[in-house]
Amino acid sequence: MKIAKLIVIMLLFFAGISKLQAQETLLYKVSAEAGPVNYVEGEVTLVNELGVRNLTKGDRVLIEDKVRTGANGKVEILLNPGSYVRLAGNSEFEFLDTSLDNLQLRLNKGTAIFEVFATKDFKVTVLTPKVEVSLIKTGVYRLDIGENGKCTIKVWKGIAQASNLKIEKGRKAVISNQFEIAKFSRSETDEIERWSKDRSKYLAKINSELERRTLRDSLIASYTNWDFYNSFGLWIFAPRLGSYCFLPFGYGWQSPYGFWFGFDIWTIPLPAYIFYPRQPSIQPNTASGSPTVTPPNNLPATRKTDQVETPPIVPPFMKIQKDVGIIPPDSFPTRIDSKTNAPTPVLVPNPSVSPVPTTVPSTNDTTPSPVIMTPTRKRDN
């Protein structure tokens, strides 16, 4: 009897090890695209040329798909990496453009909360029946569409523009046949606002629960599908956690609500080529008479010559780093304060210079050296 129990225990032990190993070798899904559905509650439907069907978590909303919520419905949909739209009940919206630098959607009715990373160059544009609203700064915004298309915009954090109006933090604009702006109390919240903030907190926690080695392997394996220079970060889907979360390209970032991210790209030991801008290669003319453009290779850009000056290429995250992250001492530190718990530094090139390909030996003594970029310890929330 004791031997049988021992055999059962050993089988369970090895089964557990096998399951754990399988989980560790399973790569995360990595994406920089808008549209995935990250949360569904109650009645939520998708309407397109194929008809009407229930929308479920994991689906993707495409351009001109209409998303509708019933009276008890809620849904969270991913926008550009790091940004979300959350719909309350009796609402309807659709995507018009999902490009990273010109995201546009239409809110036809109901209530939507936008949690976004944004600048004037990477804005989120919301078309309503009465007015076009642009979200031009990282923040949290609420839009309500009432009877006859009346639009109410509440800016919890950030800056919104509507026609010639600028609506700043703590202000509310009511737009119908005329414009009215007034202050509102940010301490007074309703159920949809509390739910949106709770979701932000939960998703920041998921980021901190990612497994570092799996995350590194996933980023390298998917590198041809994303680019350090055209987004603020990436969407990471962890099957075990059952949800997408945001991985920032900036260091020491917090969400628009103010929740810290445990991981960003600087806390992961990645190959240096990831931090260089990529260049497409053009093949000779084909039988059709047109040159063929192949996907960018994984090598860094070529070295600039003495005759041609290459202008610096700045990753988008640098434009909002000072607003949402931590600026390391001396801008690009080459040392670590031993009294902090900062992550192990990652040796990466300076993105403001044109690098030398890693496969070509350099004889030029003036080639810029890589720098060490290390985030300082995050402050307590």
- Boundaries of every domain in the chain: 35-187
Residue 160 has pLDDT above 80, yes or no: yes
Half-sphere exposure of residue 362, counting CA atoms within 13 Å on the CB side? 14
Residue 63 has pLDDT above 90, yes or no: yes
End-to-end CA distance of the chain: 55
Partners of 78 in the beta sheet?
84
Please tell me the distance from the alpha carbon of residue 346 to that of residue 39, in angstroms, as a whole number. 34
State the chain's mean pLDDT as an integer. Answer: 80
| Phi, psi of 61, deg, nearest 5 | -90, 125
Q: What is the pLDDT of residues 13-22, one digit of tens each?
A: 545 544 444 4
Please tell me the distance from the alpha carbon of residue 115 to that of residue 93, in angstroms, as a whole number. 16
Enter the CATH code of domain 35-187: 2.60.120.1440
HEC string of 235-297 equals EEEECCCCEEEEEECCCCCECCCCCECCCCHHHCCCCHHHHCCCCCEEEEECCCCCEEEECCC
Paired sense of beta strands 124-127 and 103-116, if any:
parallel
Amino acid identity for residue 357 in this structure: P
| Phi, psi of 7, deg, nearest 5 | -65, -45
The two tokens of residue 248 are 């920032």
- Say which residues have a Cβ less than 8 Å from residue 380's Cβ, sequence separation at least 6: none
Percentage of residues in the chain with pLDDT exceeding 90?
Answer: 59
The two tokens of residue 363 are 């004889």
Residue 60 DSSP one-character state: B
pLDDT in the model for residue 95: 96
The two tokens of residue 204 are 């920041």
Please tell me the distance from the alpha carbon of residue 284 to that of residue 30, in angstroms, as a whole number. 33
Q: What is the pLDDT of residues 35-57, one digit of tens each?
A: 999 999 999 999 999 999 999 99
pLDDT in the model for residue 6: 56
Amino acid identity for residue 350 in this structure: N
Residue 286 has pLDDT above 50, yes or no: no
Please tell me the distance from the alpha carbon of residue 98 to that of residue 102, in angstroms, as a whole number. 7
Partners of 244 in the beta sheet?
237
pLDDT in the model for residue 327: 66
Is residue 75 a contact partner of residue 39, using CB atoms and an 8 Å limit? yes
Please tell me the distance from the alpha carbon of residue 302 to that of residue 90, in angstroms, as a whole number. 54
Helix H or strand E encompassing 66: strand 66-69
Residue 264 has pLDDT above 80, yes or no: yes
Coil vs helix vs strand at 326: coil
Taking alpha carbons only, the member of 165, 205, 200 closest to residue 85 is: 200
Please tell me the distance from the alpha carbon of residue 352 to that of residue 155, in angstroms, as a whole number. 34
Count the neighbouring beta carbons within 10 Å of the beta carbon of residue 246. 25
Helix H or strand E encompassing 324: helix 321-324
Q: What is the pLDDT of residues 163-198, one digit of tens each?
A: 889 999 999 999 988 889 999 998 889 999 999 999
Q: What is the pLDDT of residues 344-370, one digit of tens each?
A: 434 444 444 333 333 333 334 333 333
Residue 137 has pLDDT above 50, yes or no: yes
pLDDT in the model for residue 2: 60
Coil vs helix vs strand at 4: helix
| Phi, psi of 287, deg, nearest 5 | -60, -25
The pTM for the full model equals 0.76
